[in-house]
Amino acid sequence: MCGRYTISTPYQQLALRFGVREPLDSIGPRYNAAPGQLLPVITNDHPSTVELFRWGLVPYWAKDPKIGHRLINARSETAAIKPSFRRAWRRRRCLVLADGFYEWQNRPGGKQPLRISIQGEEPFAMAGLWEHWHDTEGQDLRTFTILTTEPNGLLAPIHNRMPVILARDYEKEWLNGPTNEVTLNEMLGPYRAKEMKFHPVSTRVNSPQNDDQGLIVATRQAATLL
């Protein structure tokens, strides 16, 4: 799964990387992006703009938006048929902008948080789905979920799932809608292990209240991992 990530790349750089305009309501870097927060996405409805949506998908039919806390991830293998995600799969796709994500490795002394990123610290897009939800007073809530897939060889010893990181060539194709099964399987499969890296970070990342640059700095425990 993906329960925490980073998006610290300046928005000017993100705009150049993804060929979009900066968000109107810009926020600062996030070193510990967590569910329930407003975070940057690019949707199929507005592919030339970065928008801020809340992490944790609330289906259009939901009676209580709190359901979003349970829907921060969607399995790419089954999202097309799950009631919570199937309409979004057909109509509402997005790119979730990131430059790293966290996972926790079980170790004898407890769980060690790791920050996982692309070689060169390049920003990337995770495949996402988004939804509109309206309460009884007409308030509009826009939310998203992150698709997950099986882990690659680098991450398999750490966790049994990883977020779907889209290759650059597939970013626009994902937004454009349904594609054939062969393309989807390749698009939504695990990202290439040789192009990824990870390092241990402070357990301060365990609390979403901590959100500073020190969270992504490698600790001295790297030599003892795996």
**pLDDT computed for residue 226 by the predictor:** 41
Cα–Cα dist 39/64, whole Å: 21
**pLDDT computed for residue 225 by the predictor:** 43
The beta strands (E) that lie in the chain are given as 5-7, 30-33, 38-43, 51-55, 73-75, 93-98, 100-107, 110-118, 124-134, 140-149, 162-163, 165-166, 196-200
**pLDDT computed for residue 99 by the predictor:** 97
**pLDDT computed for residue 224 by the predictor:** 41
Strand-pair partners of 163: 148
**pLDDT computed for residue 113 by the predictor:** 96
Q: What does DSSP assign to residue 172?
A: H
Amino acid occupying residue 62: A
Cα distances from 20 to residues 46, 49, 51, in angstroms, run 10, 5, 10
Cα–Cα dist 131/184, whole Å: 21
Given the residues 2, 51, 131, 171, select the one marked as catalytic: 2
- Residue-number span of the structural domain to which 113 is assigned: 5-224
Q: Is the four-CA dihedral 122, 126, 127, 130 of positive or negative sign?
A: negative
Beta carbons within 8 Å of 217's beta carbon, 6+ residues apart: 201, 202
Structure pTM? 0.94
Per-residue pLDDT of the chain (226 residues; tens, 9 = 90+): 799 999 999 888 888 999 997 665 567 899 999 999 999 999 999 999 999 999 999 999 999 999 999 999 999 999 999 999 999 999 999 999 999 999 999 888 889 999 999 999 999 999 999 999 987 777 789 999 999 999 999 999 999 999 999 999 999 999 998 778 888 889 999 999 999 999 999 999 999 999 999 999 998 654 344 4
**pLDDT computed for residue 103 by the predictor:** 97
Cα–Cα dist 128/27, whole Å: 20
State yes or no: is 2 an active-site residue.
yes
Given the residues 51, 94, 103, 171, select the one marked as catalytic: 103
Number of domains in the chain: 1
User: pLDDT digit string (tens) for 77-125?
Assistant: 999 999 999 999 999 999 999 999 999 998 888 899 999 999 999 999 9
